[in-house]
Chains A and B, each alone.
Chain A
Amino acid sequence: MFFFTHSRSDGKVILAKIIVITSGKGGVGKTTTSAAIGTGLALRGFKTVIVDFDVGLRNLDLIMGCERRVVYDFVNLINGDSNLNQTLIKDKRSDNLYILPASQTRDKDALTQEGVEKVLEELKQTFDYIVCDSPAGIEKGAHLAMYFADEAVVVTNPEVSSVRDSDRILGLLSSKSRRAESGERIKEHLLLTRYNPARAELGEMLTVSDVEDILSIPLLGVIPESQAVLKASNQGVPVIMDEISDAGQAYGDAVDRLLGETKPHRFLEAQKKSLLQRLFGGR
């Protein structure tokens, strides 16, 4: 295997890294997370591309707020209908950030392993980080999104089916990936999202440590259930840009940890409500 190394503007030589955001179960927050982590990496100076692998259900463009600038897509690029320059969409907020939109074709076989490999190799020449937003499920799209990854962020909600599916995905990461096939491991991270500390404290919802006990992989972060996420998606701004929101800050911490920093986990405890707030249902 060979790695293409290159230097950033500050002269640091790093290896291009492929990170897959995956979960098995649908609707747990993969796209929200891909947008947040990709943007966070770019804001910290790394040249980053976020790749939407959800063929037929393109949504990353909406979350990133670039839906009206999509001309070509991933499948066009694989088929040689367009080149990288024409296909990548530059983010309006960061010069380091690009988006590769998914194709809206209904042909589930539009992505091929060779095609994906060719595009990823090309992206490795220019980018420090390639963030792959996986579709739900364990079919071809999810398989291709994880196959070439160096690291995986397993997005999990504190709920039985999501945790079970995450474990399923961990099994696939350690058997059906290029790294696994060559006897290496994909570095795994647990990202617990939509966490409700108040319900966890009441014993109504799995706690952070419950999920850690079951999945036993290192915890990258805990993203609280937050109104800021819907607000951000309404506007097409990744929630990590909302720096005063709890979810925005939690994603910021997760990106720092991904880059090797140790930071205490925040937003694990319920905000104490006053008696009056509790009686009148205040938030």
Chain B
Amino acid sequence: MSLFDYFRDRKKPAKTASVAKERLQIIVAHERGQRSQPDYLPQLQQEIIDVISKYVQIDRDQVHVALDNQNDCSILELNVTLPERP
């Protein structure tokens, strides 16, 4: 650390570690969730999109498929946002 750094660092402490921690907590939680999802889920999602697209125009990211395991039952959650009516 040089004389210059010493004064610069005093003025502006870069507290970026807390940002790093927050980002990590979010992405790690997200990826852990995906890890427990069965392998067939992406395929299932694609086929649901294909079926819906036959009837209405939707974007890929307007369809959310998630499998939630609660004790002894699994809930398949399907969330489709349809475009606004013209």
Chain B 1-53 residues near chain A, CB threshold 8 A: 1-3, 5-6, 9, 13-18, 20-21, 23-25, 27-28, 31-32, 35
A164 touches B (CB below 8 Å): yes
Kindly provide the distance from the CB of B8 to the nearest chain A CB, expressed in whole angstroms. Answer: 13
- Residues A202 and B13 in contact, CB atoms below 8 Å apart: yes
Residue from B17, B28, B31 within 8 A of A204 (CB atoms): B17
- Residues B28 and A167 in contact, CB atoms below 8 Å apart: yes
Q: Bound state CA distance, A205 and B31, in angstroms? A: 23
| Chain B contact residue count (CB 8 A cutoff) | 22
Q: Is the interface of A mostly helix, strand, loop or mixed?
A: helix
- Residues B1 and A281 in contact, CB atoms below 8 Å apart: yes
Given known A-B contacts A164-B28, A214-B28, A206 and B13 have beta carbons under 8 A apart: no
- Residues B13 and A163 in contact, CB atoms below 8 Å apart: no
Kindly provide the distance from the CB of A135 to the nearest chain B CB, expressed in whole angstroms. Answer: 22
Quick one: CB contact mask for A246-283 with B, threshold 8 Å, 1 for yes? 00000000000000000000000000000000111100
Q: Please report the number of residue pairs spanning A and B whose Cβ atoms sit closer than 8 angstroms.
A: 57
Residues of A in contact with B, size category: 20 to 34
Kindly provide the distance from the CB of A170 to the nearest chain B CB, expressed in whole angstroms. Answer: 9
- Residues A164 and B16 in contact, CB atoms below 8 Å apart: no
A–B complex contacts, Cβ < 8 Å, 5 sampled: A163-B24, A202-B9, A203-B17, A204-B16, A214-B25
Chain B interfacial positions (CB closer than 8 Å to A): 1-3, 5-6, 9, 13-18, 20-21, 23-25, 27-28, 31-32, 35
Chain A interfacial positions (CB closer than 8 Å to B): 159-160, 163-164, 167-168, 171, 175, 200, 202-207, 210, 213-214, 278-281
